[in-house]
Structure 1
Amino acid sequence: MPTFTTTDGTELYYTDQGEGRPVLLSHGWPLSSDAWQVEVKLLADNGYRAIAHDRRGHGRSSKTYYGNDMDTYAKDLAELVEHLDLKDLVVIGHSTGGGEVVRYTAQHGAGRVAKVITVGAVPPQMVASATNPGGLPLEVFDGIRAGVLKDASQFYKDLTEAFFGANRPGATVSQGARDDFWRQGMLVNLAAAYDCIKAFSETDFTEDLKALTVPILIAHGDDDQIVPIDGAALRAIDLVKHGTLKVYPGAPHGIDGAFRLELGQDILAFISE
């Protein structure tokens, strides 16, 4: 399986499928590149080179104790892009991955990244603070940390309910999709999973969003129970220079079903513009 070793000795797994303009996909917490399998095939089938990596500590990458923070995630991504020498690149990030690709593009992507797409992404900042009074209380994330430490396996099973909107009337998410979320979650190193909670909730991406000079598609479901749209996409769109906001009525945080189908077509359309 293809792997790349970063300058600090961390081995990153990635999948690389198709030929053409490169598109790199970054997954959410606590998942892996497997979360993007449908999109990887869609992109490859439509003439693109689709690359998706497992973030350090996640999936088949090294089970790291150190470096589980957004600056290091972005640096890892920069090293992978340089290793593969990707240019005219489109980066796509879901949830935590949205923060990763925004920081990477702002701080490392000049001359390589042409477009950015985020889906249910955490920027500008999730946790409430003096500069982000509308964010979620720190106690929410303390609860996630406690759940992961107490019984990660059960926590991931329970999390799929809100993640996929399975608690909503008429929900169509399958048990298989929920089981696959659990499967991917169980591959993450506990220390990496724990530290990543701080990374995705407390990192302030405000200046990164302001620094973007390339077009960005900000996609978000308006029934996202994990990363509420009011504190995320609806704020982020006001911070970027060349942004397009796409709101999916009734869509949850998890990419599944009708949301996945529509999003896939929107991704193809945005890349081809």
Structure 2
Amino acid sequence: MPHFVASDNTALHYYDGGAGRPVVLIAGYGAPADSWALQWAALRAAGHRVVSFDRRWHGRSDRPARGHRIARHGKDLHDLLAHLDLDDVTVVGSSMGASAIWAYVSLFGCERLAGIVTVDQTPKMINSADWPYGFYGLTADNLGTFFLHPTAVNTGHGRAWPDQAATDARIRRAGGQGMSRLITPDTYPLLFDHACQDWRDTVAGITVPALILAGADSQFWPAEHATATAMSSPLARAVVVPGAGHPAHLDQPETVARHLVEFTAATA
């Protein structure tokens, strides 16, 4: 399976298939590149080279003690695009994968990019008077300990989580190797750093089209975050996916694939 070595000597895995204008898919916290398998066929059929990226400590990539910061994950995305010499790229990030994209844009601007798609990731996870679209119950006062509690993700909001066994089976049928999520205490500093970020100014400064997707029934935050985020940039638009929770590309894979294909066609 292909790997490349990032600038800090960390080996990072990716899948690479198809031909045409490139689309790079980046999974969320704990999820592997395989979690995008349900979109691979539609994107390849639409004439795209499809790259699915395992961030450090995710999937089959290395798990070094260093680099548990979203900024480093943005640099890793930069290193991937440079390694594959990809230009005119549509980058697609789900959850924390979206934050890796915003980190890339914050560091490098929209270099090499044709478009940006984020899947159910609010740009600011801490709720405040000017941003009520953060993670349910997360405030500046409880940020330091909030995610140390195992029940933090059980917000009481949104739809039921997809069945793990059924999801794994669908991913395997689509050519992936299952979800094999990996969340351990080693990665908590990354989750904390992720939760501290406010990407609203980054979104406001983008110079390529952006599609902000939200799950209508997200377990983590109100779907209104998408419209509020898109309002900060004339190049962004929001779409709420009906019947989808936080992992919208798993809950409604065909719908998300259609939105990705339509977006890439519109930015060609």
TM-score, normalising length: structure 1: 0.82
1:199-238 maps to which residues of 2 (within 5 A)? 199-230=193-224, 232-238=225-231
Measured after TM superposition, the shift of residue 130 of structure 1 is 7.1
Matching residue's letter, 1:176: A
Q: Does 1:251 align with 2:254?
A: no
Measured after TM superposition, the shift of residue 177 of structure 1 is 4.0
Give me the whole-angstrom Cα distance separating, in 2, the residues matched to 1:217 and 1:238: 12
- Determine which of 246, 253, 260 is the counterpart of 1:260: 253
Give me the whole-angstrom Cα distance separating, in 2, the residues matched to 1:234 and 1:228: 10
Query: Match of 2:45?
Result: 45
Query: Match of 2:175?
Result: none
Is the contact made by 2:91 and 2:101 (CA closer than 8 Å) also made in structure 1? yes
Give me the whole-angstrom Cα distance separating, in 2, the residues matched to 1:141 and 1:162: 21
Is the contact made by 1:225 and 1:253 (CA closer than 8 Å) also made in structure 2? yes
CA spacing shift, 1:97–1:9, aligned 2, 3 Å: same
Percent of aligned positions that are identical = 29
User: How big is each residue's C-alpha offset from its partner over 1:76-99, in whole Å with a ceiling of 9 and x where there is no partner?
Assistant: 100110111101110001111111
Question: What is the RMSD of the two structures over their aligned residues, measured on CA atoms?
Answer: 2.9
Matching residue's letter, 2:245: P
Matching residue's letter, 2:148: R
Matching residue's letter, 2:180: Q
Measured after TM superposition, the shift of residue 144 of structure 1 is 3.1
Is the contact made by 1:106 and 1:209 (CA closer than 8 Å) also made in structure 2? no
Is the contact made by 2:134 and 2:222 (CA closer than 8 Å) also made in structure 1? no
Matching residue's letter, 1:259: Q
CA spacing shift, 1:31–1:258, aligned 2, 3 Å: closer
Give me the whole-angstrom Cα distance separating, in 2, the residues matched to 1:34 and 1:109: 27
Is the contact made by 1:43 and 1:50 (CA closer than 8 Å) also made in structure 2? yes
Query: Match of 1:126?
Result: 125
User: How big is each residue's C-alpha offset from its partner over 1:120-166, in whole Å with a ceiling of 9 and x where there is no partner?
Assistant: 0131x10135764663424478343332xxxxxxx8xx969979822
Q: Does 1:176 align with 2:165?
A: yes
Measured after TM superposition, the shift of residue 62 of structure 1 is 0.9
Is the contact made by 1:95 and 1:120 (CA closer than 8 Å) also made in structure 2? yes
Query: Match of 1:191?
Result: 186
Give me the whole-angstrom Cα distance separating, in 2, the residues matched to 1:54 and 1:272: 25
CA spacing shift, 1:59–1:145, aligned 2, 3 Å: farther
1:16-95 maps to which residues of 2 (within 5 A)? 16-95=16-95
Query: Match of 1:135?
Result: 134
Give me the whole-angstrom Cα distance separating, in 1, the residues matched to 2:157 and 2:190: 17
Q: How many residue pairs get matched?
A: 255
Is the contact made by 1:6 and 1:79 (CA closer than 8 Å) also made in structure 2? yes
Query: Match of 1:170?
Result: none
Query: Match of 2:115?
Result: 115
Report the 3-state secondary structure (helix = DSSP H, G, I; strand = E; otherwise coil) of the residue aligned with 1:225: coil
Give me the whole-angstrom Cα distance separating, in 2, the residues matched to 1:256 and 1:245: 16
Measured after TM superposition, the shift of residue 229 of structure 1 is 2.1
CA spacing shift, 1:22–1:134, aligned 2, 3 Å: closer
Is the contact made by 1:18 and 1:48 (CA closer than 8 Å) also made in structure 2? yes
Q: Which runs of 5 or more structure 1 residues have no equivalent in the other structure? A: 148-154, 168-172
Give me the whole-angstrom Cα distance separating, in 2, the residues matched to 1:141 and 1:18: 43
Is the contact made by 2:122 and 2:133 (CA closer than 8 Å) also made in structure 1? no
Is the contact made by 2:27 and 2:54 (CA closer than 8 Å) also made in structure 1? yes
Give me the whole-angstrom Cα distance separating, in 2, the residues matched to 1:258 and 1:207: 30
Is the contact made by 1:162 and 1:226 (CA closer than 8 Å) also made in structure 2? no
Structure 1, 100-109 or 111-120: larger mean CA deviation:
100-109
Give me the whole-angstrom Cα distance separating, in 2, the residues matched to 1:185 and 1:15: 17
Give me the whole-angstrom Cα distance separating, in 1, the residues matched to 2:167 and 2:155: 8
Measured after TM superposition, the shift of residue 251 of structure 1 is 1.9
Measured after TM superposition, the shift of residue 242 of structure 1 is 0.6
Matching residue's letter, 1:271: T
Measured after TM superposition, the shift of residue 215 of structure 1 is 0.5
TM-score, normalising length: structure 2: 0.84
Is the contact made by 1:94 and 1:118 (CA closer than 8 Å) also made in structure 2? yes
CA spacing shift, 1:206–1:46, aligned 2, 3 Å: same
